[in-house]
Structure 1
Amino acid sequence: MALNPDQARRLARRLRQLRASHWPDVDLTQVELATAFSMESNVAPATISSWESAGSPKTPTAARLSAYARFFATRRSLESGPHLIPEDELAEDERERFHALEKELLDLLHAKDLPRRNTLSFDVGPVTVICSESPSEEQSPLASADNPNFTKLNQYADLDALIEIYGHLRASNPILDVFHRVTRDVRADDLSTHVILLGGIAWNAVTKRFQEALGQVPVTQVEDPEVETGEIFTVGDKRYLPSWGDAVGDKGRGPLVEDVAFLARLPNPFNSSRTLTICNGIHSRGVLGAVRCLTDARVRDANEAYLAERFPDGQFALLLRVPVVAGEALSPDLKNDDVRRYEWAPTEGRGR
């Protein structure tokens, strides 16, 4: 059965999850699983690998998925070495788990009209939002652990964006663990989860750990003498600058009327079965605009449809206009050509 690439990868992720983490205390290899399945019909370890492939997965038959369900319905499948237990030998509770898992896998196989997973919806977790820390001189006294009223969130930069994306992640992924960290609290294990980098990629130390992924994207963020309040984005020799309103009184510059957002989705280089998402901006309004592009109910469905059509493999980088009206960042509408200032896909080599 031919599934579209997104559906095939979703099934592959589920099969890989079953083998790798269904029983967290068991290190089940592809060779062992192939040996178990071969008790009834020969399966090579390379075939198991192709079913789990993150890039171009092959699709197993319904019969093979039924075997998956039977194997993972009971830990007795591991006794005396991995093997398949005949269905008529399953206990009642094991048979219930078998039928539930079989239905889940077959639904993935037959869901031809299954919609593309939204960018911030995940099949497995955990998900870690990594945030920049506000400069110490700009932090509230409550950001100090020595203060009796210490509130850790006072240490976070881009707090509006964090609250927006964290709430959306919890609502969209109710059974998954979702964590948030400032960069200095990031642990090594956090880097192999689904990672969302929020703001400040120019000075976020964690970002340097993702250079393997970011190196392929031709967007850089640099300091510029024209913008002292944030770092601008560049592509080659082209600079992408914010816009300011007319100066008021003796002020040398008016209010911010348009920021630039950077939104990117790439594979996580530390774990190819997980993703790296970047929501950034020149200023905090740009960061919030990148987030609201994916969370705002008024535009997110249309934006997800655009991303699915324009970037079918789910990898992309965009620079976007974020208008600021009465101090509020407006959510970018990706179907508006004027909103998209630059876009890139790895299959194109360079953006447009």
Structure 2
Amino acid sequence: MTDRGEQLGERLRGLRLAGIAGQPVLQSSVAQALQKSVPLISSWEKGKAMPSEEWLHAYARFFATPRSFVDGRPRLLPLEDLRGDELDRCERLFQELLELRSVPKAPDDSMVRSPWEGMWHFADRSPITVVCAGLPVELRPSQALSTPESPDYVALDAYADLDALLELHSHVYAANPGVSVHHTLSDGLTSEDVTNHLVL
């Protein structure tokens, strides 16, 4: 996580809490207006994922006008529907959010490509979740050993192919040094996991 990413997330959250026409806005309202999921909006506010310029502009349009709500329902107005003062506020907000956005510097064409760059490299440095297949229930350890309370509990006993997991996890981490990489079974996915990069 970069400081700039955290600053952008804090600003997005601050915009939402400051609200529109003096009324704080729920994450669900922002998600509905932008047609995104609530977990993704939350991930943006926490700085765990980075919205693109397109979505920063959508944020600016949404918070630039009280007309973003009609009869209590959120909406995202097209840019051409904004009025003079709303356009000015939209542009100011957009430029502010752009400055806070952490954008990796584009490599010079003369630079040699990193040996780790490829299909497992994610330039935005968002967290990565490796989703693994599990053993059939009948092949898993007995119920007595399958809870964390058991002294013989081993979480990895439920995984179908540990060799593949170790190899893939190591390769993904090596291709994204410093990025959070964790693994889970498919039936253990959380709403936060699905906002990360998923490796299946």
Of structures 1 and 2, the one scoring higher in RCO (CA 8 A, sep 6+) is 2
Hey, which of these two has a bigger chunk of helix by percent? 2
Q: TM-score, normalised by structure 2?
A: 0.48
Bigger Rg, structure 1 or 2: 1
